[in-house]
Amino acid sequence: MANIQEIAKLAGVSSATVSRVINHKPHVSSETRAHVQQIINQLDYVPNINAVSLKKGATKMLGIVAPTFSDSLGTFLKNFTLAAQQGGYNVTLFLTGLDKQKELEAFERLRNKQLDGLVLVIRLNEWDVLESYAKYGPIVTWQRVEDRNIQSVFMNQYDGYMLALEHLYEKGYRKIVNAYGNTAGLNTKSREKAYADFCQKYDLNPNEFKHFYNQGHMSEGETMARWWVDQTHKPDAFVMATDYLASGLVTEAKRLGLSIPQDFAVVGFDNTLVAHLLDLTTIHYPIGKQGENAFIMIDNQLSKRTNPLEALSFHLVERLTT
C-alpha cells in the first residue's frame, strides 16, 4: 500500500504538505489540496489509524470483561456498548470463563494503552491484583466494592430483596426459603441481612428452613422443586436469586403436577424476558441503566466531565406466582 512519501513524490509536494491534507490542517492552497487528494484517491491510500492513535495517546477503545454474558448480563453488555458507541468509543469483549489469565490479559491492555478504560462485570482475580491497574486508566465494576480505586455501579441488594420479602408477608406467606447466588459476594451478604432483619421484624425463625447457596443454573431450580416434594415440613414460598433460577423451579413444579402459587409462591429477581414468559412475580432490576452508568463514570474520568448518573431503583412486578 502507498505511503505518504510516495504520495508526496507523485504529487510533487513535500511529505509535510501531504500530511496537512490528510489531517485537514490549514496552510495548503485549495488547488494543491485537490491535487494531493486526487493522488490519495488514485492510490486508495488509507492512513493507518494505529499510527494516529499512537500519536494522540488515546485509542477510543474500552474493554468489558466477564466470565460470560447471558440473561440479564447481556442487557448490561448491550446498554454499555450502545452508550460507549454514542460517546465515540468502541468496545472490546473479553470472555474470561474461569480463566484468571484471560482477565489479566484485558487489564494488561489497559496498561499497554490498547484500552482507554475498562468495565469489569464479574471478577476472577483478587481485588488487590486488579486494583493495581487503576493507575493506567478508569476501571468500573458491576460488583459491589468499597474503599478501592475502582468505581462501582452496584445497587444495594438489601432494598430489592426486602421488597420481595415484604410482598410475600403481605400475601400471607410465612414459611420462606431463600436461594442465594455466589456465597462470597457482597450482594449475597446484603440479601442475607435483609432476610435476618425481616425475620426479626415479624418474629419469624430465620432457620426454620434450609438456605440454598451458590445457586445459578436453571437445573438447580428444577432440583429445588423435587426437594420441596420430599419435605414433610414444607415451606410455602421461595425467593430465588434470579429469574433464570426461578424458571427452573416453576417449570419443574408444573411438570410434577404442582400448582403455583397454591402449593408454594415464587418470587424471581431481575425482571428478564423469562419472567414475562412464565408470568413470574419478580423484582425489576435496572441492569441496563447500570450499563449506561458504567460508561458515564468512565467517560467522566477520561474527559474530565461531571455528567450525572442515571437514578436507579428496584421495584416489585407482581404476576401470577404469588
173-200 as b/e, with b when 16 or more CB fall inside 10 Å?
beebbbbbbeeebbbbebbbebbeebbe
Omega prior to 286 cis, within 30 of 0: no
C-alpha neighbours within 13 Å on the C-beta side of residue 145: 21
* Identity of the residue, 133 or 161, whose beta carbon is nearer to a copy of itself in the bound complex: 133
72 binds a copy of itself (CB under 8 A): no
Q: How far is the CB of 47 from a copy of itself (least distance, A)?
A: 7
Residue 120: strand pairing partners: 65, 141
User: What distance lies between CA 308 and its chain's CA centroid?
Assistant: 19
- What's the Cα-to-Cα distance from 255 to each of 226, 233, 250, 251, rounded to whole Å? 10, 22, 9, 6
Contact pick of 14, 25, 47, 210 for a copy of itself (by CB under 8 A): 47
256 is a contact residue toward a copy of itself (CB under 8 A)? no
In the set 68, 183, 200, 231, which binds a copy of itself (CB under 8 A)?
68
54 lies in the binding site for a copy of itself (CB under 8 A): yes
Q: Which of 10, 15, 69, 104 binds a copy of itself (CB under 8 A)?
A: 69
Q: Beta strands 282-284 and 315-317: pairing type?
A: antiparallel
Cα angle 55, 61, 64; round to 5: 150
Site for a copy of itself in 109-148 (CB under 8 A): 109, 111-114
Closest distance of CB 51 from a copy of itself, Å: 6
* Binding site residues, a copy of itself, CB under 8 A: 46-51, 53-54, 59, 61, 68-70, 74, 77-78, 81-82, 85, 90-95, 97, 102, 109, 111-114, 218, 247, 251, 273-274, 276-279
